[in-house]
């Protein structure tokens, strides 16, 4: 794929990891979160599926990559932003490479998160601290073994009806192979004592990334 591009996913979800309602719309709009994200994506590339694109108001000074199975799909255009269409995930990386993009943001929906999940390094999460009875669930559990929470700030959003919703801005970074070792060892560590011919041998067993190690002390 040539040079490396960092993919960051932007996700809004409720307390049960639901990202969309029964009509496949975003689970909830939190204007304060959207404002923070707009500032961060200025001048950057945004990746999303066709359905997400069609219910999105494009922002100026961005480049959009819209994924669609329809090879004849023609998205709305404007002189204030750029739009590319990709029919496969491989085409997304070809576009990123050709346009010399350093950072791109993945906006969903569910199938786009699923398809690009293993390539995403950072997650910017709007975690709404309520159950909103959504439909589709976010597939990445963001386990402590694989991801490191680097920022968590708590806020309250008051809806037009006057209802208060607590939400958190959370940022996760994918751990490197070396960073995975510590949480793996701390969660998968056992000590076994053997007494053979009055000799005490301490066996330490632990597993890191599916590789088993045995140390004798």
pLDDT value at residue 141? 66
pLDDT value at residue 143? 78
Length of the chain: 217
pLDDT value at residue 155? 96
Residue 62 clears pLDDT 50, i.e. is over it: yes
Cβ(9)–Cβ(106) below 8 Å:
yes
Q: How far is CA 205 from the centre of its chain?
A: 33
**In the predicted model, what is the mean pLDDT of residues 60-72?**
96
pLDDT value at residue 181? 52
Residues 171 and 142 occupy one common structural domain: yes
Residues 88 and 194 occupy one common structural domain: no
Mean of pLDDT over the chain: 82
Residues 21 and 83 occupy one common structural domain: yes
Please check whether residue 118 lies inside any domain of the structure. Answer: yes
The count of structural domains within the chain is 2
Residues 62 and 142 occupy one common structural domain: yes
Q: Degrees (nearest 5) of the Cα angle 82, 84, 88?
A: 160
pLDDT value at residue 15? 87
For residue 192, the enclosing domain spans 178-216
pLDDT value at residue 180? 57
82-91, 144-153, 205-214: least confidently modelled range: 205-214
pLDDT tens digits for range 67-116 = 999 999 999 999 999 999 999 999 999 999 999 999 999 999 889 998 99
Residues 205 and 145 occupy one common structural domain: no
The candidate with the shortest Cα–Cα distance to 19, out of 123, 124, 121, 139, is: 139
Question: Where residue 3 falls among pLDDT bands split at 50, 70, 90?
Answer: low
Residues 168 and 66 occupy one common structural domain: yes
Residue 136 clears pLDDT 60, i.e. is over it: yes
Residue 208: HSE in the Cβ half-sphere, 13 Å Cα cutoff: 13
CATH number at residue 160: 3.40.430.10
Residues 51 and 122 occupy one common structural domain: yes
pLDDT tens digits for range 152-183 = 999 999 998 999 999 999 999 998 865 555 54
Question: Where residue 4 falls among pLDDT bands split at 50, 70, 90?
Answer: confident
Cβ neighbors of 132 (< 8 A, separation 6 or more) are: 14, 18, 21, 27, 28
Residues 87 and 191 occupy one common structural domain: no
Residues 171 and 192 occupy one common structural domain: no
pTM for the whole structure: 0.78
Share of the chain above pLDDT 70, in %: 78
Distance between CA atoms of residues 58 and 165, nearest Å = 26
Token pair, residue 52, equals 């997400």
Please check whether residue 1 lies inside any domain of the structure. Answer: no
Residues 169 and 190 occupy one common structural domain: no
Residues 144 and 212 occupy one common structural domain: no
pLDDT value at residue 178? 57
Residues 140 and 124 occupy one common structural domain: yes
């Amino acid at each position: 794929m040539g040079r490396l591009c960092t993919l960051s996913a932007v996700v809004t979800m409720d307390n049960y990891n639901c990202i969309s309602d029964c009509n496949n719309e975003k689970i909830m709009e939190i204007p304060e979160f959207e404002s923070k994200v707009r500032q961060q994506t200025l001048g950057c590339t945004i990746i999303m599926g066709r359905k997400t694109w069609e219910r999105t108001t494009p922002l100026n000074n961005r480049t959009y990559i819209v994924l669609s199975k329809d090879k004849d799909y023609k998205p709305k255009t404007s002189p204030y932003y750029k739009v590319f269409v990709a029919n496969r995930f491989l085409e997304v990386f070809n576009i990123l490479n050709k346009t010399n993009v350093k950072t791109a943001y993945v906006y969903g929906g569910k199938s786009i998160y699923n398809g690009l999940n293993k390539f995403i390094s950072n997650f910017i999460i709007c975690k709404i601290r309520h159950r909103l009875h959504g439909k589709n669930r976010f597939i990445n559990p963001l386990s402590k073994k694989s991801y490191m929470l680097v920022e968590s700030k708590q806020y309250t959003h008051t809806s037009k009806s006057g209802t208060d919703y607590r939400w958190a801005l959370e940022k996760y970074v994918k751990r490197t192979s070396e960073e995975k070792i510590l949480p793996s060892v701390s969660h998968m560590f056992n000590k076994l004592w053997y007494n053979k011919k009055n000799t005490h041998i301490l066996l330490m067993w632990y597993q890191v990334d599916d590789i088993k190690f045995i140390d004798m002390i």
